[in-house]
Structure 1
Amino acid sequence: MFEKISLYYLKLKNKLTVKKPWDYVIIFILNVLFTIPVFIIVHHNIIAFNWYYKADRILIFILILLIFQCILQAMRRITLLSVFAYVVILLYGTLKGGYGFERVFEDYQSLLYNMSENQYPQDIIIDKLLPFPNKSKIIHAIDYENPKVRNFALMSVNKYFKNIKGHSNYLTLIQCLAVFKEINSHWNYVRDPKGEEYFASASESIQYLSGDCDDHSILMAASIRAIGGVPRLIHTQGHIYPELLIGSKSDMEMVTFLIKKELFPNESKGKVLYYHIDERGKIWLNLDYTAKYPGGPFLREEVLGALTLEY
């Protein structure tokens, strides 16, 4: 019985063994395929040391590569089995809507692009903000359930970025940026009546796409909320502007790639994207009317208050 099992094992091992030099070629290719998703996960979950030329990330990639090289070299007699296991894991993730082939490609693409870019400024908001001025009036003006607001947002979504392929996990964010493009491409700044603070509702501002910073922020927040995005308003000295919830560091990397390469390549060329990080580590992208691309410069640096619509 033991001899039969041993004989079966030897036959199976011979079938799964790749002859030289192809075993080394397959091991190296498999090593790179294993290293890429693991490096992406590590990159997203450890602190960036911000060394020159991204040397910290390069060293981490090399270290992971060497570790997998040693493991695969030790397992070289079952190289084909390792290839099969890798394909099955990613195929399972693809079919279940998890981390599959498409996600690996998208994340690696955005990672390479972001590593070639300069670091983006980060203005961390401390959790000691002043009461938001005219809060109740502004919330009332953000009438995102009004059919006019919903239809305006849908018009924007159907007008821009419909042909962007892939990136299904970022569809809502892409649609919110379509709303930004429609509003900021046509917004006309008009002051309030002299001596008065006038807050136009979002459904009112849609007709002419005109008003001051309050009106712009209200319309942007309502339109984004109407299609499932999460906006908030930032209050500084004499100014209010909207922001869009992006999410985590990895989400920001993907959104940066989309803005720079797919959505606003001309408007954002050579520009820095500005965003805030809240007390929970979530990233909020600046959507002020002062720029024609998302993440334009902050008009006022000091933040006095933040008004987040519930999510």
Structure 2
Amino acid sequence: MTNPTLTKIKNVRERLRIKKPWDSIIIFALNILISIPLFLIIHQNIIDPEWPFHLDRILIFAVMVTVLQLILHRVRTVLILFIGLYLLVLAYGSLFGNYGFSTVFDNYQAMIYTMSEDPHPQDVILSKLLPFPNKGEILDAIDYNNPKVRNFAVGAATKYFKEFKSQDKERRMIQCFSVFKEIRNEWNYVNDPAGREYIAHASESLQHFSGDCDDHAILMAACIRAIGGTPRLIHTGGHLYPEMLIGTRVDLERANYLIKQKLFVNESKNQTINYHVDEHGQIWLNLDYTARYPGGPFMSEEILGALTLN
């Protein structure tokens, strides 16, 4: 005797069953849609062993796709409901949240680009524990609370790259890059008076956008600080230059992609992104006037000290 309940279940399963070869095509497409964000999460949360050609990431992705393909094949009768739910979640995230279709696509692009175009690390090694020269005078000169500095920084932050809409931390990073571009475009190198170290306040340098490396570093640091960024100054003995805090290696991936593919395409063409890693594992990009893009080449001088503006 046939059980009516079992018959109804079989009928529902038959209605949900997808005909060949569409079942295999949909399973594979769904596999990729799931694998991309899942791989992003794994990639961002495991230590990079730095295997050649990123073989570790390739292996992880291949294993993930294979396992998911087997799982999805066994539950293919509910694929329609699963796909609908997945698309609804991404659609909701696109309209009301922070993680939707565009975010998945952008993060995937950034990750793939960084895997193929590695930034170039350069460790900060403090060779001598020397006092930072003119520390008190320099800190006073970084007058980021001065209305002239704040107003200039706000204008420079929104002068370039306005077409790139982003959220919170990334928006601040892009605005700091815009400030870098504006100051670099305007800056003229002028020596200090003979036999004297003249340290100009940031608000003073705004008058003519001229001065030596100290004055440039002070102005850049003040403007970055004025819009919420974290700058620091690097002392080499014969040179002083500014850097800005990027954050973690995940943040570096995004910065690398934005600089080379979106914001400074011509300036950074066929170039590498150079950065320093501090004792806490935080990443800092060079913002010196000698660099044509954030993360440009460092001057080859021994680093003697760093002054961070928290």
Pair 197,69 (structure 1): closer, same or farther in 2 beyond 3 Å: same
Per-residue CA shift, 1:149-187, capped at 9, x if unaligned? 1121122233211223x4335211111111101111121
Deviation of the 1:22 alpha carbon: 1.0
| Matching of residues 105-116 of structure 1 within 5 Å | 105-116=105-116
Deviation of the 1:126 alpha carbon: 5.9
Q: Which moved more, 1:271-280 or 1:202-211?
A: 271-280
TM-score (structure 1 length as normaliser) = 0.90
Partners of 1:230 and 1:245 within 8 A in 2: yes
TM-score (structure 2 length as normaliser) = 0.91
Deviation of the 1:96 alpha carbon: 5.2
Deviation of the 1:11 alpha carbon: 4.1
Partners of 1:283 and 1:29 in 2: CA distance: 37
Per-residue CA shift, 1:29-55, capped at 9, x if unaligned? 000111111112222222333333333
Secondary structure class of the residue paired with 1:245: strand
Gaps of 5+ in 2: none
What is aligned with 1:161? 161
Partners of 2:274 and 2:286 within 8 A in 1: yes
Residue identity matched to 1:124: D
Secondary structure class of the residue paired with 2:245: strand
Deviation of the 1:194 alpha carbon: 1.9
What is aligned with 2:123? 124
What is aligned with 2:238? 238
Deviation of the 1:147 alpha carbon: 1.2
What is aligned with 2:210? 210
Secondary structure class of the residue paired with 2:148: helix
Partners of 1:111 and 1:7 in 2: CA distance: 49
What is aligned with 1:249? 249
Q: Is the aligned partner of 1:23 residue 2:23?
A: yes
What is aligned with 2:66? 66
User: What percent of counterpart residues are identical?
Assistant: 55
Per-residue CA shift, 1:19-75, capped at 9, x if unaligned? 222111100000011111111222222233333333332222111111211211121
Deviation of the 1:223 alpha carbon: 0.7
| Matching of residues 1-311 of structure 1 within 5 Å | 6-95=6-95, 97-117=97-117, 119-125=118-124, 130-164=130-164, 166-169=165-168, 170-310=170-310
Pair 257,5 (structure 1): closer, same or farther in 2 beyond 3 Å: same
Partners of 1:123 and 1:275 within 8 A in 2: yes
Pair 223,9 (structure 1): closer, same or farther in 2 beyond 3 Å: same
Deviation of the 1:286 alpha carbon: 0.7
Partners of 1:201 and 1:172 in 2: CA distance: 24
Secondary structure class of the residue paired with 1:279: coil
CA-based RMSD of the aligned residues comes to 2.2
Number of residues of Structure 1 aligned to a counterpart in Structure 2: 307
Gaps of 5+ in 1: none
Partners of 2:125 and 2:303 within 8 A in 1: no
Deviation of the 1:280 alpha carbon: 2.4
